[in-house]
Amino acid sequence: MLIISVGVTDGWWGQKPEFGAATSVTVLEGETAKLPCIVLHLNDRAVTWLRRRDLHILTAGQHTYSADQRFQVVHTEGSNEWTLVVRYAQPRDAGVYECQVNTDPKLSRPVLLQVTDPNPELSVTKGKVFVANNTASTKDGDLRVEIQGPRELYIEEGSSLTLTCLVTTSREPSTVVYWYHNTNLIDYNSPRGGVNLKIDRGRGETTTRLVVSAVGQGDSGMYSCVPPGSHPATVRVHVQKGDHEAAIQQSGVSGASSGSSLLLLPCLSSLLLFLFVYSPHLFLLPKHSYVLLLSCALCLAPSLLLCFCYCWCFCCCSVAVFLCCLSSLALRVPLLSALPRSPSLRQAAESTVSPRARSSTPLQLHAHCLEFPKC
């Protein structure tokens, strides 16, 4: 190991700190980066790690001063190494970091971190990529990603969510698998807590299990399993409220459905009533002559009156019933207009109506017309 003497002495400490050689670290996106810092003759001085681009202090001694919990300093008591660990390295983490010693003036050693894109050139062999079971090919062989289970998953609020992603490949199994919630990389050390990842590696396959405890509404959304060099496998998770509230929602949906059925019932009933009152003899006595049919056509006015009275009882569908009446009337008019209009035929038709029917009120006349034998 090359030791560079900085050449600074500091009063009563009597020893001058010395750094190891400057270095750079290159990692793939998503992997853990370890930035080394070796300090000799540190004595009681403190080592600080900071990020140069914004001069943000990440660690001081063995304490972390960053809200991003991916950063951590590792130091073994009695050793000269102060290693800055960056878990799940992202492209935004790339840059220069400084390892400082609080001398006067301060001493520092820069360390360059480079984060590279892990994705090789891809050739997608499946027509549609949006599936929870996707196959893509790389230059190193075929890679298959699959989230086991249905594409949409419904889970009750407060329960535990477990998603299993199986990555199979003809080459060495992937050592890194990323999980995303919507577009955000899942932080397993987030303040939320209760998020764990289990990885099992076998020959040609890697199985990762994402466990989210005590799910809430904020855990709903799209979950993606993304190994390096592949398109994601996805599953959509719906977090539903408890049984009681879900039952209320189901009841609301059923009530709306029942309301629609009740709205449709009077319309159909009115239409059937109209056809029955308007055309009883066409259905029951199809062999009657035009003369007999014309006699019952005299019931047209009371039939319409009764139909409109029925429609007003169901005011919510009165317009629909009125249209039904008009359409039926439109079909009737050509038939009646086609009948012979000679006086002798009219007299013959009137003669079929009894004197009691001629002197009856409209409603009584309607009842008389429903007496099929007299028609």
What tens digit of pLDDT does each residue of 111-149 get? 989 888 765 443 333 333 333 344 333 333 467 888 888
Percent of the chain surpassing pLDDT 70? 51
Using the predicted structure, report yes or no on whether residue 196 has a pLDDT greater than 60. yes
pLDDT interval class at 91 (50, 70, 90): confident
Using the predicted structure, report yes or no on whether residue 85 has a pLDDT greater than 90. yes
What tens digit of pLDDT does each residue of 149-183 get? 888 889 899 899 999 998 887 766 666 788 888 87
Using the predicted structure, report yes or no on whether residue 3 has a pLDDT greater than 60. no
pLDDT at residue 301 in the model: 57
Q: By the 8 A CB rule, do 165 and 147 touch? A: yes
What tens digit of pLDDT does each residue of 62-72 get? 888 888 888 99
Using the predicted structure, report yes or no on whether residue 184 has a pLDDT greater than 50. yes
Least confident stretch, 87-96, 161-170, 286-295, 338-347 = 286-295
pLDDT at residue 351 in the model: 53
Mean pLDDT, residues 344-353: 48
pLDDT interval class at 342 (50, 70, 90): very low
* 3-state SS assignment for residue 227: coil
Q: Which residues make beta-bridge pairs with 206?
A: 167, 201
Instruction: Provide the residue type at 353 as one letter.
Output: V
Using the predicted structure, report yes or no on whether residue 49 has a pLDDT greater than 50. yes
Percent of the chain surpassing pLDDT 90? 9
Q: Which fold has domain 3-116?
A: Immunoglobulin-like (2.60.40)
Distances in Å between the Cα of 167 and the Cα atoms of 20, 203, 229 are 41, 11, 11
Residues 6+ apart with CB under 8 A from 60: 46, 47, 48, 49
Using the predicted structure, report yes or no on whether residue 73 has a pLDDT greater than 70. yes
Among 224, 228, 173, 219, residue whose Cα is nearest residue 195: 219
> How distant is the alpha carbon of residue 229 from its chain centre?
26
pLDDT greater at residue 270 or residue 112: 112
pLDDT greater at residue 209 or residue 375: 209
**Candidate CATH numbers 2.60.40.10, 3.50.50.60, 3.40.50.300, 2.40.10.10; the one for domain 122-243:** 2.60.40.10
Among 109, 85, 138, residue whose Cα is nearest residue 8: 109
Q: By the 8 A CB rule, do 297 and 336 touch? A: yes
Positive or negative torsion for Cα 186, 190, 196, 199: positive
On the CB side of 202, how many CA atoms lie within 13 Å of its CA?
6
Domain boundaries, the chain: 3-116, 122-243, 264-374
pLDDT at residue 118 in the model: 61
What tens digit of pLDDT does each residue of 290-309 get? 444 444 445 555 555 655 55
Which tokens hold the place of 47?
Answer: 């080592």
Q: Strand runs (DSSP E) across 170-317, as ranges?
A: 178-181, 184-185, 195-202, 205-212, 221-226, 233-240
**Domains 3-116 and 122-243 fall in the same CATH topology:** yes
pLDDT greater at residue 323 or residue 212: 212
Using the predicted structure, report yes or no on whether residue 317 has a pLDDT greater than 70. no
Using the predicted structure, report yes or no on whether residue 245 has a pLDDT greater than 50. no
> How distant is the alpha carbon of residue 327 from its chain centre?
46
Average pLDDT for the chain: 67
Rounded to 10°, the helix 300-313/362-369 angle is 100
pLDDT at residue 142 in the model: 66
pLDDT at residue 175 in the model: 64
Q: By the 8 A CB rule, do 115 and 29 touch? A: yes
pLDDT at residue 321 in the model: 54
